[in-house]
Amino acid sequence: MLKRLVVLLLVIFSLSFIFIIFIYKPLVEEKPKITVVLKDLNSEYWRIVEAGLRDGFQDFGIEGKIIAPNNLSFLEQVELLESILIEKPDILIISPMYPDYSIPILERFIEKDIPVVLLDTDHQWENKTTYIGTDNVALGRIAGTLLGSQLQPGSEVAIIGVDLYSPDASEQIKGAKLSLEAVGIKIVAEKVNIYSETMIVKKEIERILENHPKVKGLIATNDELALAAFEVIEKYGFKLPIIGADGMNDMIKLIEEGELPGTVAQNPYDMGYLSVETVKKVINGENVEKHIDSGVDIIIKGNAKQRLEFQKRLLK
């Protein structure tokens, strides 16, 4: 009798175990698969975006893959999209390098019922699920207001930018002009679409200083330009407020050390995290807005140390 009971219990246990495995297996297989294509995975900015994405994958139960082309190659990004299309992820998140030229292949994702979320770089493409990133006109307005607060009406300033991949820089400049002109600041030099190589940027800054020796401040559409400008201005013995856009660690260090009064910064970590949070909503059948603003921060000496420590932790 005891033997039969033991055998019966073993059979029940075995069947229960098989049943649990049977139920558990499809749950694992149903974990949403998301592919993210960034512009780069080597620079500080994109590594922080990546950190936000990975935290989002963990928090929202997403199986995510993050890839990027080498050397900012547009053609390689297109090749990556071709291979991803074959893999058929549940959703694609992409920061397109040349949005106008990326749309044809992105349309092919839509044809296969794969929603496409634009990250960091927007485009007036009606079939996108949403754009998540910075409102660049707003960023420019804040940059112009911050610079204007350091100067007097009638002061002369310069603007430099690189706009090779998207209209982001042009939108920043548009916003900056609105704020600067509103407080009577004169924009005496504007150089857009310069090559981002440090030596070329420095030569352009030197020309601006030579042609406009009364310049009292400068706005750059990214921190690489801002840091190059700082080196030139320091070399000439000047001390001018310089406003960047990315919140890179080297820029924040200059603020913490008192070399610069402040800057504005995008929120790359939030950009990445919000993208995954939004994708989860899409998967759950929820409606999402067509434009999700990841915000802009003003960095000054009072909060520079905290921001720097946060970003250093993300980059470890």
pLDDT number for residue 16 = 58
288 C-beta neighbours (distance < 10 Å), count: 16
Specify whether the CB–CB gap between 63 and 32 falls below 8 A.
Answer: yes
Q: In the predicted model, what is the mean pLDDT of the chain?
A: 89
| 121-138 pLDDT tens trace | 999 999 999 999 999 999
pLDDT number for residue 25 = 47
Establish whether domains 31-134+268-285 and 136-266 are of one fold: yes
CB within 8 Å of 213: residues ≥ 6 apart: none
pLDDT number for residue 17 = 56
With 90 as the cut, is the pLDDT of residue 308 above it? Answer: yes
Q: What is the residue whose two structure tokens read 């915000």?
A: 295
- The span from the first CA to the last CA of the chain, in angstroms, equals 63
Burial 210-247 (b: 16+ CB within 10 A, else e): eeeeebbbbbbbbbbbbbbbbebbeeeeeebbbbbbbb
- Could you state, in order of their start, the residue ranges of all structural domains in the chain? 31-134+268-285, 136-266
pLDDT number for residue 238 = 87
| 15-25 pLDDT tens trace | 555 555 555 54
> Which helix (H) or strand (E) segment is 161 a member of?
strand 156-161
Of residues 201 and 44, more confidently modeled: 44
Please state which CATH number belongs to domain 31-134+268-285: 3.40.50.2300
Specify whether the CB–CB gap between 54 and 24 falls below 8 A.
Answer: no
| 89-114 pLDDT tens trace | 999 999 998 888 899 999 999 999 99
CATH architecture entry for 136-266? 3-Layer(aba) Sandwich (3.40)
d(CA 85, CA 105): 9
pLDDT number for residue 27 = 46
Burial 163-191 (b: 16+ CB within 10 A, else e): bebbbbbbbbbebbbebbeebebbbbbeb
d(CA 228, CA 189): 17
Confidence of residue 50 (pLDDT cuts 50, 70, 90): very high
Of 152-166, 238-252, 265-279, give the lowest mean pLDDT range: 152-166
Residues 189-208: what's their mean pLDDT? 79
- 3-class secondary-structure state, position 267: coil
CB within 8 Å of 125: residues ≥ 6 apart: 99, 103, 106, 118
Of 15-19, 78-82, 249-253, give the lowest mean pLDDT range: 15-19
Confidence of residue 30 (pLDDT cuts 50, 70, 90): confident
